[in-house]
Amino acid sequence: MATPTPRVRVPAKAKKGEVIEIKTLISHDMEMGTRKDADGKTIPRKIIKLFACTFNGKEVFKSDWQPGISANPYMAFFAKVNESGTFEFAWHDDDGSVYKASSKIEVA
């Protein structure tokens, strides 16, 4: 499988107190651990088990993911912004890898 690539979309600008939509997507097979390969051997589980988002270091969104989550998981959520800063995103893989992305927003 290709290296997972995260993609995020955060508005570049917002008004103070505005509720903005954040869209994220990561390319990932999300191998559920129950499928078998052509030789009948179980393909080991490899999923992203935790997705978290922080704003200026403070947690704003976090979710545990399970084997039923689709390949290339898309996650959109809303956040209220009161100040300019940086959203940081982290996808935690079963094998310990963490894929990261970040996006700045300017609040007027």
Partner 1 sequence: MQSSARRKPNRVAGAGARRIALIGAAAGMLGGALWGAAGPAEGQAKREAPLALEGPASPVPWKRYADWPKPSWDNFNTLAKTDASPPAPKPEAVRKIAEEIKGDPAQGQKLVFDRSRGGGCLACHAMGPATAGAQVGNVGPDLSEIGNAGRTDEWFYNYIFDARVYNPETVMPPWGAHGLYNGEEIRHMVAFLKTLKTPVKYRSDADNPEKRPVPKEDRDNLDALVNPGMWAVDKAKELWSAKGPSGGACVACHANPEAQFKTWAASMPRWEQRLNKVMGVEEFVFRHAKATTGHSWLMQSEQNLAMAVYLRHIANGAEIKVDVTSTPAKAAAARGHQLMERKIGQLNFACLDCHAPAKGALKWIRGQWLGESKGQIPHFPTWRTSRLEIWDIRKRFQWCGVAIRANDLPPDAKEYGELELYLTSLNNGLKFNVPGIRH
Residues of the shown chain interacting with partner 1 in the complex, contacts defined by CB under 8 A: 2, 5, 7, 9, 23, 25, 27, 38, 71-72, 74
β-bridge partners, 9 = 23
- Considering beta carbons, is residue 35 or 104 the nearer one to partner 1? 35
- Considering beta carbons, is residue 2 or 108 the nearer one to partner 1? 2
- Considering beta carbons, is residue 32 or 84 the nearer one to partner 1? 32
Q: Tell me the C-alpha distance between 92 and 106, whole Å.
A: 27
Q: Tell me the C-alpha distance between 70 and 24, whole Å.
A: 14
- Considering beta carbons, is residue 3 or 59 the nearer one to partner 1? 3
Beta carbon of residue 98, minimum distance to partner 1 (angstroms, whole number) = 20
* Contact yes or no for 9/87 (Cβ under 8 A): no
Tell me the one-letter amino acid at 45.
R
Beta carbon of residue 27, minimum distance to partner 1 (angstroms, whole number) = 6
Q: Torsion angle of alpha carbons 19, 56, 107, 20, nearest 10°?
A: -20
Beta carbon of residue 68, minimum distance to partner 1 (angstroms, whole number) = 16
